[in-house]
Amino acid sequence: MIDWPLAELLPHAGDMIFIDQILAFDDEQIHTCLTVKPNGLFSLPDGSLPAWVGIELMAQSVAAFAGCHARQRGDAVALGFLLGSRKFECNVESFPAGTELTIHGIRSLEDDNGMGVFECHINAPGIHATARLNVYRPPQAAHYLHEPAGVQS
């Protein structure tokens, strides 16, 4: 189990941090977990979590992987982007409240330009979800967040 606070490893804050804990990580993979809370941000009326939120759980696990490696190197946590997912499959429509989900992300590819591909899995008794995530961590992410002069939201 990793004792580093998730808020120091993810570029998320407060209720937007969905995973509860990093169980383990190494050079190529990460294991995280969470218990589905009935009053979560995306909870359904019955307290369950829609299965499509599994993509975000996988993405946050990949972000935690990057955050753990940044912390090991003594670097700041960098912003990254989920570009898309392929072949998201889940055998349930929602994750019941109280279910402990484990997420496993395995790096398939990562290049020097910040592009990466991760094979991800979510498991719990009777539950299995998989997806391949395409991610991008630009060298200078702040450049992507600045609005040109004169542009208003």
- What would the pLDDT profile of 34-86 be if each residue is shown by its tens digit? 999 999 899 999 999 999 999 999 999 999 999 999 999 998 888 889 999 98
Q: How far is CA 89 from the centre of its chain?
A: 16
> Do 56 and 87 touch, CB atoms closer than 8 A?
no
Q: What is the pLDDT of residues 10-43, one digit of tens each?
A: 877 778 899 999 999 999 999 999 999 999 899 9
pLDDT-derived band at 141 (thresholds 50, 70, 90) equals low
Residue 97 CA neighbour count, 13 Å, CB half: 12
Taking Cα atoms as reference points, which of 91, 102, 92, 87 lies closest to residue 132?
Answer: 87
pTM above 0.85, yes or no: yes
Q: Which residues contact 76 (CB under 8 A, 6 or more apart)?
A: 70
Instruction: Give domain 6-140's CATH architecture.
Output: Roll (3.10)
Report whether 90 contacts 113 (CB < 8 A): no
Spans of all domains in the chain:
6-140
Q: What is the pLDDT of residue 148?
A: 62
